[in-house]
Amino acid sequence: MSDEAGVLALFAKLAEAWNRGDGAAYGECFTDDATYVAWVGTIYRGADDIGRSHQVLFDTFLKDTKLTTEGEIDVRFYGEDTAVLTTRGDVGKKPSKGAKVQTFTLVRQSGEWKIAAFQNTKRHSMLERISFRFQPGIRPAA
């Protein structure tokens, strides 16, 4: 399996765990010392804390939600055992398209890719459009 395929397989495993509402399996995708920043700004540390807290969320606020991703997935490698994955997606019973932007920092440990850091940001597309209209120079090149 190529490195990119391995990273994308981990992301698929993460999404499958979310879609099943399986906090333990979700947490297993992270390193023991991972940092997880939720879109509301909450910081979780470590695979166990991430899995435990997500199980509570899956049983309550996020019950029966699905994790969706747009086709915009960017994978970049920084050495043999480090990668950064950027995605656009959303969660919900009827997720909207690209409502959040996620950045994953991944490391390879004992031949297996794991998430070492995660940042989730709520996307404000209307504010983006307004900003780009009044200041076109801030529009990203890509």
pLDDT at 134: 83
Confidence of residue 17 (pLDDT cuts 50, 70, 90): very high
Three-state SS sequence of the chain? CCHHHHHHHHHHHHHHHHHHCCHHHHHCCEEEEEEEECCCCCEEECHHHHHHHHHHHHHCCCCCCEEEEEEEEEEEECCCCEEEEEEEEEEECCCCCCCEEEEEEEEEECCEEEEEEEEEEECCHHHHHHHHHHCHHHCCCC
Report whether pLDDT(138) > 80: no
Q: Tell me the mean pLDDT in the region 38-59.
A: 94
Instruction: Pick the most confident of 12-21, 63-72, 86-95.
Output: 12-21
Report whether pLDDT(37) > 90: yes
Report whether pLDDT(33) > 80: yes
Q: Tell me the mean pLDDT in the region 102-107.
A: 96
pLDDT at 68: 87
Confidence of residue 71 (pLDDT cuts 50, 70, 90): low
Name which residue leads in pLDDT, 32 or 39. 32
Contacts of 132-137 with CB under 8 Å at 24 or more apart are: none
Q: Tell me the mean pLDDT in the region 112-126.
A: 88
- pTM, to two decimals: 0.87
Confidence of residue 136 (pLDDT cuts 50, 70, 90): confident
